[in-house]
Amino acid sequence: MELRKKINNGKKRMKRLQFYLEPRVDAQLERLAAKLKVSKAQLIREGIRLVIIKKTPLEEDPAFKLIGLLKGEDFPKDASVNHDKYIYVEDWKEGKKKL
Protein backbone atom coordinates (compact mmCIF):
# COMPACT_ATOMS: atom_id res chain seq x y z
CA MET A 1 0.00 0.00 0.00
CA GLU A 2 2.80 2.43 0.84
CA LEU A 3 4.37 1.86 -2.60
CA ARG A 4 1.07 2.76 -4.32
CA LYS A 5 0.90 6.01 -2.38
CA LYS A 6 4.39 6.87 -3.60
CA ILE A 7 3.54 5.99 -7.19
CA ASN A 8 0.41 8.15 -7.18
CA ASN A 9 1.91 10.90 -5.01
CA GLY A 10 -0.82 10.29 -2.46
CA LYS A 11 -3.53 11.15 -5.01
CA LYS A 12 -6.61 9.12 -5.76
CA ARG A 13 -5.60 5.64 -6.81
CA MET A 14 -5.66 4.95 -10.54
CA LYS A 15 -6.86 1.78 -12.17
CA ARG A 16 -4.11 -0.18 -13.90
CA LEU A 17 -4.76 -1.15 -17.52
CA GLN A 18 -2.71 -3.14 -20.00
CA PHE A 19 -2.91 -2.81 -23.76
CA TYR A 20 -0.80 -3.18 -26.87
CA LEU A 21 0.66 -0.47 -29.09
CA GLU A 22 2.17 -0.84 -32.51
CA PRO A 23 5.97 -0.36 -32.34
CA ARG A 24 5.78 2.74 -34.54
CA VAL A 25 3.16 4.36 -32.29
CA ASP A 26 5.17 3.47 -29.20
CA ALA A 27 8.28 5.10 -30.71
CA GLN A 28 6.31 8.25 -31.55
CA LEU A 29 4.91 8.34 -28.05
CA GLU A 30 8.39 7.87 -26.57
CA ARG A 31 9.80 10.78 -28.60
CA LEU A 32 6.92 13.08 -27.71
CA ALA A 33 7.12 12.20 -24.02
CA ALA A 34 10.86 12.95 -24.01
CA LYS A 35 10.34 16.23 -25.84
CA LEU A 36 7.59 17.35 -23.44
CA LYS A 37 9.39 15.89 -20.39
CA VAL A 38 6.35 13.87 -19.31
CA SER A 39 5.70 10.15 -19.06
CA LYS A 40 4.18 8.08 -21.83
CA ALA A 41 1.41 7.20 -19.38
CA GLN A 42 0.61 10.89 -18.91
CA LEU A 43 0.28 11.36 -22.67
CA ILE A 44 -1.93 8.28 -22.94
CA ARG A 45 -4.20 9.54 -20.14
CA GLU A 46 -4.43 12.95 -21.82
CA GLY A 47 -5.24 11.30 -25.15
CA ILE A 48 -7.98 9.20 -23.57
CA ARG A 49 -9.52 12.32 -22.02
CA LEU A 50 -9.51 14.04 -25.42
CA VAL A 51 -11.22 11.06 -27.06
CA ILE A 52 -13.87 11.02 -24.33
CA ILE A 53 -14.53 14.74 -24.83
CA LYS A 54 -14.68 14.40 -28.60
CA LYS A 55 -16.86 11.28 -28.64
CA THR A 56 -19.31 12.29 -25.89
CA PRO A 57 -22.57 13.51 -27.42
CA LEU A 58 -23.16 17.21 -26.84
CA GLU A 59 -26.47 16.48 -25.13
CA GLU A 60 -24.59 14.60 -22.37
CA ASP A 61 -22.34 17.60 -21.59
CA PRO A 62 -23.59 19.31 -18.39
CA ALA A 63 -22.92 22.74 -19.95
CA PHE A 64 -25.37 21.91 -22.74
CA LYS A 65 -28.20 22.23 -20.22
CA LEU A 66 -27.34 25.92 -19.80
CA ILE A 67 -28.31 26.71 -23.39
CA GLY A 68 -31.62 28.52 -23.45
CA LEU A 69 -31.84 28.60 -19.67
CA LEU A 70 -32.28 32.36 -19.60
CA LYS A 71 -35.09 33.45 -21.86
CA GLY A 72 -37.81 36.00 -21.87
CA GLU A 73 -38.54 39.60 -22.67
CA ASP A 74 -36.58 40.86 -19.65
CA PHE A 75 -33.42 39.09 -20.79
CA PRO A 76 -31.08 41.23 -22.94
CA LYS A 77 -30.92 40.12 -26.58
CA ASP A 78 -27.17 40.88 -26.79
CA ALA A 79 -26.20 38.91 -23.65
CA SER A 80 -24.23 36.30 -25.59
CA VAL A 81 -21.98 39.03 -27.01
CA ASN A 82 -21.93 41.56 -24.16
CA HIS A 83 -22.05 39.15 -21.21
CA ASP A 84 -19.37 41.06 -19.29
CA LYS A 85 -21.57 44.14 -19.40
CA TYR A 86 -24.27 42.23 -17.52
CA ILE A 87 -22.00 40.25 -15.20
CA TYR A 88 -19.97 43.28 -14.09
CA VAL A 89 -22.86 45.76 -13.96
CA GLU A 90 -21.31 48.03 -11.32
CA ASP A 91 -18.05 48.40 -13.21
CA TRP A 92 -19.91 49.34 -16.40
CA LYS A 93 -22.03 51.89 -14.54
CA GLU A 94 -18.85 53.52 -13.23
CA GLY A 95 -17.32 53.53 -16.69
CA LYS A 96 -14.72 50.88 -15.87
CA LYS A 97 -14.68 47.74 -17.98
CA LYS A 98 -13.61 44.75 -15.93
CA LEU A 99 -12.45 41.83 -18.02
Q: How confident is the model at residue 65 (pLDDT cuts 50, 70, 90)?
A: confident
- Assess whether 12 and 49 both reside in one domain: yes
- Assess whether 9 and 50 both reside in one domain: yes
- Percent of the chain past pLDDT 70, that is, above it, reads 77
Is the predicted pLDDT of residue 81 greater than 90, yes or no?
no
- Assess whether 1 and 36 both reside in one domain: yes
- Assess whether 47 and 86 both reside in one domain: no
The pLDDT of residue 1: 45
- Assess whether 47 and 91 both reside in one domain: no
Q: How far is Cα 99 from Cα 96, in angstroms, rounded to an integer?
A: 10
* Residue 29: burial class (beta carbons within 10 Å; 0-12, 13-18, 19+): middle
- Assess whether 52 and 72 both reside in one domain: no
| pLDDT mean over 22-26 | 97
Are 31 and 43 in contact by the 8 Å Cβ rule? The answer is no
The domain containing residue 13 runs over which residues?
1-59
For the chain, the domain total comes to 2
Q: What is the pTM of this model?
A: 0.55
The pLDDT of residue 37: 97
| pLDDT mean over 30-56 | 95
Are 84 and 99 in contact by the 8 Å Cβ rule? The answer is yes
